[in-house]
Amino acid sequence: MIITGSLFIVCAMLLLGVSVYVAFGSVLIFIALVGDQSISGYLPTGSTGIRSLVLLAIPLFMIAGGIMEKGKIAAPLVALAEMFIGHIKGGLSAAGVLACGVFGSISGSANATLTCIGGIMMPHLKKANYPGGQSAALIVSASPLGLLIPPSSSHILYGWVAQQHVLKCFLSTVIPAIILITLLIITNQFMLRKYNNIELSERPKPFMPTLGRQGRLAGPALMMPIIILGGIYGGIMTPTEAAGIAVVYAIPVAIYFYRGLTWKSLAQTIQTSGVTIGVVMVMIFMVLIVSDNLIAQGAPQLAKDMVYSVSENPIVILLMINVVMILIGMLMDDISGLLLATPILLPIAQSTGMDPIHFAAVIGVNLGMANITPPTAPLLYLGAQVCDTPVSKMLWPTLVFIIFAWLPTLMLTTFVPELALWLPDLLLGR
């Protein structure tokens, strides 16, 4: 009764348009009225939950992402990618996808990736006569790469909730991300075949000196993932310390090297990131309390019984898990979706023999895809604003990218466990 009622209330509130954290708060009112638990337990549960050093990596990566976004760190990365493939038809949009991947590995955030790369790439793409709706849809579809390429905030959270090795979770989505990049580029190339008036940029001559100049310019930005990932995987720093170092490194680079920020605008940038952090952390706080209450009511077992009542075939069960996660992701953001889905769906996935690290990859790809899937699709609407393109023009190409790039990636990640497990096993052992 409590579980069904809670799910109904969350869905109704989210459909009505109530803020996500308030939707979860309304469930707490329902539990307080119907259940037998005291409301005095809510605050300790939530505050103990967010009082975690591991979780501190999320706000720190958000601040680093904010500094890089405002600090004009992305522009030389885009220029470098453009140098290599800008002279091929579709090369400029492919450069955008690659830039999303590289910037994603720096910022760990889909929003920051979309804002930065979309803002820089779209004027170039439009100037070269690339179709506006399709190009914007491509950048939007590539922006969740920030969630898949390490370091990723959602994987830090997953590792924390599921008690798994965070570094293994990071590595689990690297190969799916490479597959996604490839499929996005191929699909885009195929869709571009009917456009014959695209202007191609000339390959810079002489190439090597220009590459050297551009490389020096992009160097400090490219050093960022090396410092972060090298520090983490070299065993020098924890992910949280690496996130702190990322901020400390990004500040002088953005202020003195790229001159995109001043000390005054840095304070404003931290403040803006602080608001986003507040939004995310209050959601985490609420979801932790709700999820704790639902677990106490036996939600994981109920969900498992429901799934097994439909079928005991592992393939069908995994497909059902995917559908549920896509629906969850369509209704809420990736962080709260992950916090709600993990404790309930992970035991079901494990019962089919799925490794928790494999599940990290599946949940990462699922939530990334849900972020761009209409009708809610927060990244789609942000993309329309950033790329100055109407949503109506982006809808169809986005659906094509979902069907031909995201869905195959999701299916491969779900049903070929080696894609998620090979790299973590290779680098960190079983």
Partner 1 sequence: MSKTKVDQPTFFGYAVTEGQKKITDELPPIIGYPMKLMAMVMRMIVTASGFIMAFTFGAVVVIRYGFGGDLFAYEEWLLAISIVGFFAGAVLASSRNLHINADILGIVIHDPRLIWWRGFLVLLIELVVILFLFYACYVSILDDFSFPRLRSTPVLRIPFVTWRIAIMVAFGFMAMFTAAYLYVHIRKGLGLPLKSDTDKGTSK
- Report in angstroms how near the CB of residue 94 gets to partner 1 at its nearest: 29
Look up residue 216 and give its two tokens: 């020096």
Which of 216-224, 245-253, 254-262, 301-309 is the region at the interface with partner 1 (rule: CB under 8 A)? 245-253
User: Which C-beta is closer to partner 1: that of 184 or that of 330?
Assistant: 330
Q: Which of 145, 171, 218, 247 binds partner 1 (CB under 8 A)?
A: 247
The identity of residue 334, as a single letter, is D
Sign of the CA dihedral running 73, 76, 81, 87:
positive
Is 100 among the residues that bind partner 1 (CB under 8 A)?
no
User: CA 411 to CA 400: how far, in whole Å?
Assistant: 16
Cβ-based neighbours of 259, under 8 Å, separated by 6 or more: 72
The identity of residue 194, as a single letter, is K
Closest by CA position to 320, among listed 297, 290, 351: 351
Is 340 among the residues that bind partner 1 (CB under 8 A)?
no
- Report in angstroms how near the CB of residue 116 gets to partner 1 at its nearest: 14
Is 1 among the residues that bind partner 1 (CB under 8 A)?
no
Whether residue 144 is preceded by a cis peptide bond, meaning omega within 30 degrees of 0, is no
Is 262 among the residues that bind partner 1 (CB under 8 A)?
no
User: CA 153 to CA 367: how far, in whole Å?
Assistant: 12
The contact pattern for partner 1, residues 38-77, with x = CB under 8 A and - = no contact, is xxxxxxx-xx--xxxx--x--xx--x--------------
Is 145 among the residues that bind partner 1 (CB under 8 A)?
no
- Report in angstroms how near the CB of residue 29 gets to partner 1 at its nearest: 5
- Report in angstroms how near the CB of residue 246 gets to partner 1 at its nearest: 9
**Binders of partner 1 in range 269-288 (CB under 8 A):** 270-279, 281-283, 285
User: CA 174 to CA 149: how far, in whole Å?
Assistant: 6
User: CA 421 to CA 430: how far, in whole Å?
Assistant: 9
Is 236 among the residues that bind partner 1 (CB under 8 A)?
yes
- Report in angstroms how near the CB of residue 139 gets to partner 1 at its nearest: 18
User: Which C-beta is closer to partner 1: that of 279 or that of 428?
Assistant: 279
- Report in angstroms how near the CB of residue 48 gets to partner 1 at its nearest: 8
Q: Which residues of 330-343 are buried (b: 16+ CB within 10 A; e: fewer)?
A: bbbbbbbbbbbbbb
- Report in angstroms how near the CB of residue 55 gets to partner 1 at its nearest: 9
User: CA 341 to CA 3: how far, in whole Å?
Assistant: 14
**Binders of partner 1 in range 368-387 (CB under 8 A):** 375-376, 378, 385
Q: In whole angstroms, how far apart are CA 146 and each of 21, 43, 103, 173, 190?
A: 24, 32, 7, 11, 24
Q: Which of 71, 96, 133, 244 binds partner 1 (CB under 8 A)?
A: 244
- Report in angstroms how near the CB of residue 315 gets to partner 1 at its nearest: 30
DSSP letter at 203 equals P
Closest by CA position to 27, among listed 44, 15, 12: 12
Is 327 among the residues that bind partner 1 (CB under 8 A)?
no
Is 235 among the residues that bind partner 1 (CB under 8 A)?
no
User: Which C-beta is closer to partner 1: that of 173 or that of 371?
Assistant: 371
Is 333 among the residues that bind partner 1 (CB under 8 A)?
yes
Q: Which residue has the tokens 């202007």?
A: 199
205: left (phi over 0), alpha (psi -120 to 50) or beta: beta
User: Which C-beta is closer to partner 1: that of 248 or that of 315?
Assistant: 248
Contact at 8 Å (CB) between 243 and 151?
yes
**Angle at which helices 207-233 and 239-252 cross, to 10°:** 140
The contact pattern for partner 1, residues 6-35, with x = CB under 8 A and - = no contact, is -------xxxxxxxxxx--xx-xx--x---
Binding site for partner 1 (CB under 8 A): 13-22, 25-26, 28-29, 32, 38-44, 46-47, 50-53, 56, 59-60, 63, 236-237, 240-241, 243-245, 247-248, 251, 267-268, 270-279, 281-283, 285, 330-333, 375-376, 378, 385
